[in-house]
């Protein structure tokens, strides 16, 4: 699939997901000819999603297994907008040490929303290397997308972002 534009939509309360979104945007820009833009969901109209060929959606898990509040409001504003066939990837910020029962739940909540709307989910990520007990962000033994952990050093986050972003560009290139 010829992807001319990628929208990296994120919600972030304390800045971690925003920082990750900026880094993902930088790596995707470097690795492709696509126009890649990072956009905060706060105050953004959901119709903006249609301006991009592919979407990367970043959401931290807050309040013991919930979406970040900016995403909550964004989904409400989306109403019944459909995403038929749109390639959508997810990344999440979480904390496996403090929240091992709800680690990365937001990924699963968001993935269910976009799947219901007809999106084509891409970018799943292995659970190896993470320690947690339960997560709605896992399906068939893999995270829906990139899992970033507050407890990890930024160096690990950075290398995960690099590996995942490269994987994402390959998956997009292979789509019919
Ligand atoms: C009150 C509170 C609740 C949290 N709940 C969860 C949770 O249920 N699962 C999880 O994986 N992380 C949880 N976290 C960790 C955040 O997701 C993590 O700090 C993340 O990096 C915040 O992203 P942001 O800076 O983009 O808002 C929680 C953090 C706080 C302070």
As a whole number of angstroms, the distance between CA 56 and CA 58 comes to: 7
Phi, psi angles (nearest 5°) of residue 140: 50, 40
Using a 6 Å cutoff on CB, does residue 9 contact ligand 1? no
- Is the Cβ–Cβ distance between 109 and 164 less than 8 Å? no
Q: Which of 11, 93, 143 to mutate to test the pocket of ligand 1 (most atoms within 8 A of CB)?
A: 93
* Per-residue pLDDT, 150: 84
What pLDDT score does 1 carry?
Answer: 83
* pLDDT at 101 exceeding the cut of 90: yes
Ligand 1 pocket member 63 (CB < 6 A): yes
Mean pLDDT for 74-101 is 97
Q: How confident is the model at residue 103 (pLDDT cuts 50, 70, 90)?
A: very high
Percent of the chain with pLDDT over 90: 95
CA of 119 to the centre of ligand 1 (A): 26
pLDDT in tens, 150-170: 877 777 999 999 999 999 999
Indicate the length of the chain as a whole number.
176
Nearest atom (ligand 1) to Cα of 132:
11
Helix (H, G, I), strand (E, B) or coil at 160: helix
Residue nearest to atom 29 of ligand 1 (CA): 62
pLDDT of residue 128: 97
Matching residue, tokens 């829906």: 144
Ligand 1 atom nearest to 148, measured from its CA: 21
pLDDT level of residue 16 (50, 70, 90 thresholds): very high
What pLDDT score does 95 carry? 95
Find the helix or strand (DSSP H, E) in which 125 lies.
strand 125-126
Distance CA 19, CA 12 (A): 9
pLDDT of residue 130: 95
8 Å CB contact between 12 and 39: no
pTM of the model: 0.98
Domain layout of the chain by residue ranges: 5-174
How confident is the model over 29-86, as pLDDT tens digits? 999 999 999 999 999 999 999 999 999 999 999 999 999 999 999 999 999 999 999 9
pLDDT at 152: 77
Please tell me the predicted confidence (pLDDT) of residue 90.
98
In the chain, how many H helices and how many E strands? 4, 10
96 contacts 149 by C-beta, under 8 angstroms: yes
CATH fold group of domain 5-174: Rossmann fold (3.40.50)
pLDDT digits (tens, 9 = 90+) for 40-49: 999 999 999 9
Nearest protein CA to atom 30 of ligand 1, as residue: 62
Query: What's the CA gap between 99 and 133, in Å, rounded?
Result: 9
């Amino acid at each position: 699939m010829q992807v001319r534009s990628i929208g990296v939509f994120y919600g972030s309360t304390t800045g971690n997901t925003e920082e990750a979104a900026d880094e993902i945007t930088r790596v995707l820009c470097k690795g492709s000819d696509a126009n890649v833009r990072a956009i905060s969901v706060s105050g953004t109209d959901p119709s903006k999603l249609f301006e991009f060929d592919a979407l990367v959606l970043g959401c931290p898990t807050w309040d013991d297994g919930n979406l970040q509040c900016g995403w909550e409001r964004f989904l409400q504003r989306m109403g019944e907008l459909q995403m038929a066939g749109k390639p959508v990837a997810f990344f999440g910020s979480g904390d496996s040490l403090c929240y091992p029962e709800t680690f990365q739940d937001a990924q699963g909540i968001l993935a269910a929303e976009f799947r219901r709307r007809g999106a084509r989910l891409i970018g799943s990520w292995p659970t190896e290397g993470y320690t947690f007990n339960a997560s709605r962000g896992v399906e068939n033994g893999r995270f829906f997308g990139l899992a970033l952990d507050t407890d990890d050093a930024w160096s690990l986050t950075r290398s995960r972002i690099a590996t995942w972003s490269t994987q994402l560009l390959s998956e997009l290139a292979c789509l019919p």
